[in-house]
Amino acid sequence: MKERPLTQYIPDSGTLHLREYEAVGGYAALRKVLREMTPAEVTALVKDANLKGRGGAGFSTGMKWSFVPMDVPGPKYLVANADEMEPGTFKDRWLLEGNPHQLLEGMIISAYAIQATEAFVFLRWAYKYAAHEMRRAIADAYMAGYLGKNILGKDFNLEMQLHTGVGRYMCGEETALLNSLEGKRATPRAKPPFPQVSGLFGRPTIVNNVETLSWMPHIVNNGPEWFKSLSYTGDGGTKIYGVSGKVNKPGAWELPMGVTMRELLEEHAGGMKNGYRFRGALPGGASTDFLTDAHLDVKMDFAGVAAAGSRLGTGTMVVLDDHTCPVGFVHNLEHFFAQESCGFCTPCREGLPWTEKILLSLEKGTGTMADIEQLDMHTRLLGPGNTFCALAPGAMEPLQSALKYFRDDFEQHVKEKKCPYAHHSH
């Protein structure tokens, strides 16, 4: 078994607290950074490691940091995006509940790199236990001198607070998250300016995912070459992968970046439950395109999944089996996305409820062949470049790929005037 840096110290139940975290080397990386490194050297280190954002988009983290103007007077901000609202995704929760200080240390190092003076953990409202543990961890970190004024006796100050979100999927989009954090409605902002230049309260701001930030202590301690060596592919590091659906052992595992879908499904998730056959999977949460059994040997990294016609996204696979109706499956997702549209732009606000209504009529057996063409049209009209943010294009990914791979099922609903799966339990 290769190394599992992010999760190896997470207890089987409960949380790793400050003393236990320090006992396994916690905050040593922060000491090293404050004693030996300039902010620019920390950014260069992260760039060399080629750490890609683990929130879904896979953008180079060091590159993102390098866009922060360092010569501007006044405050800068760092925000941990812990608003894990992507359906099927539960990787950050494991890190937040199991090892909160790893995230905090990662945030303090990242804040030093961009010279931020204030940091926020923007947490999903439903993560009550995580909120409790994060509050405790932040308080303990203040008591131990890792947060506040003159951290570890050096000329570096950082204040940190936990902010629990209002429970909108939209808040996961970084500019909508910043609006929400400012107390405004969670709608996305026009870019440019990008948050790195004008973010929270109009100040330079970096927003990174929990899993991304949790890497910082390990990259500082072990270096970029070590980070790259953890992976099977060009995308360095490990990844927390998840599998849900009709498998024997649903769950999450930290594995080398680039394991195949087959290994995830068969070795870690224990294969399909008895009597169920694999038909396809959304490889990275609800807003990614279906891959089918033809893709089982695809490497689950950013490039591999993209080449197969989908996105790695959050790396948490939702499995579709042969007893579950693909039309009903996608209808359920589109219902969610329609509900979560912020209503800021017309194609998304009007188009998503419309696709949901069409899918519902197909499920009820009142749909027509023209409806299927309407769905095709929507996948183009709500695709990339036609909406203000990525919510609607993301919502179209499961739909467009279901129309591609499971079109017979859609047509069967029209021909039989009912859902052919109705006798199975949904």
Residue-wise pLDDT tens digits, 311-351: 999 999 999 999 999 999 999 999 999 999 999 999 999 99
Mean per-residue pLDDT, 224-249: 96
**Is residue 20 over pLDDT 50?**
yes
Give DSSP secondary structure letters for 221-252. Answer: HH-HHHHHHTSSSSS-SEEEEEEESSBSS-EE
In the chain, the percentage of residues whose pLDDT exceeds 70 is: 99
Domain boundary among 287, 321, 355: 321
Using an 8 Å Cβ cutoff, are 132 and 108 in contact? no
Looking at the structure, do residues 84 and 32 belong to the same domain, yes or no?
A: yes
Residue-wise pLDDT tens digits, 85-132: 999 999 999 999 999 999 999 999 999 999 999 999 999 999 999 999
Looking at the structure, do residues 380 and 285 belong to the same domain, yes or no?
A: no
Let me know if residue 276 belongs to a domain.
yes
Domain boundary among 229, 247, 265: 229
Looking at the structure, do residues 207 and 62 belong to the same domain, yes or no?
A: yes
Domain containing residue 280: CATH number = 3.10.20.600
**Is residue 2 over pLDDT 80?**
no
The Cα 282–Cα 89 span in angstroms is 11
- Tell me which residue range forms the domain holding 100: 18-229
pTM of the model: 0.95
- Number of folded domains that form the chain: 3
Q: With cut-offs at 50, 70 and 90, classify the pLDDT of residue 203.
A: very high
Residue 423: the pLDDT is 67
**Is residue 202 over pLDDT 80?**
yes
Residue closest to 316 by CA, chosen among 391, 251, 401: 251
- Chain center to CA of 36: 32
Give DSSP secondary structure letters for 248-271. Answer: SS-EEEEEETT-BHHIIIIIIS-S
Residue 398, φ and ψ in degrees, nearest 5: -65, -35
**Is residue 426 over pLDDT 50?**
no
For helices 346-364 and 391-405, the axis angle rounded to 10 degrees is 30
